[in-house]
Amino acid sequence: MSTYIIADLHLSEDEPAITAGFIHFIQQQAIHADSLYILGDFFNYWIGDDDDTPLHQQVAQALKQLTAQGIPCYFIHGNRDFLIGKRYAEQCGMTILPQETLLEIDNKRILILHGDTLCIDDAAYQNYRKKVHTPWIQRLFLTLPLFIRRRIAQKMRQNSQYASSMKSESIMDVNPQAVISTLQKYQADWMIHGHTHRPAVHPVSIGDKQCYRGVLGAWHHEGSAFIINEQGIELIFFPF
């Protein structure tokens, strides 16, 4: 039994090597898994399920191969693709899960999430997040013509890159107290997230209990995944 977890692929037309790497991963690795979880920022940005591009179709077809073989695929929204909706999820054959989801595998309680909600020291981002998660603002955005939505998304990406370049590394990392309180809230042994692009496994001591925080890597020049099986929980990297 093996569970695969990935995040932060940032798939886009501008990075065909990452898309090819993802398709290869699906056909050579995930096809042998028992389930696949994608923890957000799967796409570089998502402006609505009606944005039906060749890339979106190609990715949906690849995921459909998995579900057709009986391998379930689950998705948690990231900060770049929180607008992925039921329609695209159905095209992929994947199920959208709540932003914090507890898995119970081999007697381990493993919390999975994108990771942005743990970065509470980044006040500018958390304020911005509240706005773009407001249902009426999202509904209004989705009524705009696609070319305008695309322009807004590209502008937001530029602003974000500039804003991030002005922030310290520590502000953009998770807040240690937020990690502890989130692990406690779910009485979890592990949490696995992406978003910070700082792949690692961090021990987290809570009283007498030894917990762990696993961080996925972004798919820039290689793939990254957590594999959970009888042998344990392992962070792996692989060439495209």
Binding residues for substrate: 79-80, 122, 160, 167, 195
Contact between 122 and ligand LP5 by CB under 6 A: the answer reads yes
CB-wise, 54 or 98, nearer to Mn ion?
98
Nearest residue (CB) to Mn ion, 3 versus 79: 79
Residue 41 lies near Mn ion (rule: CB under 5 A): yes
Residue 64: CB atoms within 10 Å: 16
**182 forms part of the interface with Mn ion (CB under 5 A):** no
Using CA atoms, how far apart are residues 87 and 126, in angstroms rounded to an integer?
28
Name the helix (H) or strand (E) containing 38: strand 35-38
Selected binder of ligand LP5 within 118, 119, 216, 225 (CB under 6 A) = 119
- Site for ligand LP5, residues 162 to 191, rule: CB under 6 A: 163-164, 167, 172
Residue 199 found at the interface with Mn ion (CB under 5 A)? no
User: Residue positions in the annotated binding site?
Assistant: 8, 10, 41, 79-80, 114, 122, 160, 167, 195, 197
156 touches ligand LP5 by CB under 6 A: yes
Rounded to whole angstroms, the Cα distance separating 171 from 109 reads 28
The span from the CA of 138 to the CA of 212, in Å, is 35
Identify the residue among 79, 182, 196, 224 touching Mn ion (CB under 5 A). 79
Q: Pull the structure tokens for residue 47.
A: 């402006």
**Strands 222-229, 3-6: parallel, antiparallel or unpaired by DSSP?**
antiparallel
Of residues 4 through 63, those in contact with ligand LP5 by CB under 6 A are 45, 47
Total residues binding ligand LP5 (CB under 6 A):
25
From Mn ion, ligand LP5, none, interface partner of 78 (C-beta below 5 to 8 A by class) = Mn ion
Give every CB contact of residue 101 below 8 A, 6+ residues apart in sequence: 74, 76, 111, 112, 113
Query: Which part of the chain contacts Mn ion (CB under 5 A), choosing from 53-61, 126-134, 180-188, 189-197?
Result: 189-197
Quick one: 177 exposed, middle or buried, by C-beta within 10 A (0-12, 13-18, 19+)? exposed
What's the CA gap between 123 and 59, in Å, rounded?
A: 34
d(Cα 14, Cα 11) in Å, to the nearest integer? Answer: 8
**Residue numbers of the site for ligand LP5 (CB under 6 A)?**
45, 47, 79-80, 83, 116, 119, 122, 124-125, 128, 131-132, 137-138, 141, 153, 156-157, 159-160, 163-164, 167, 172
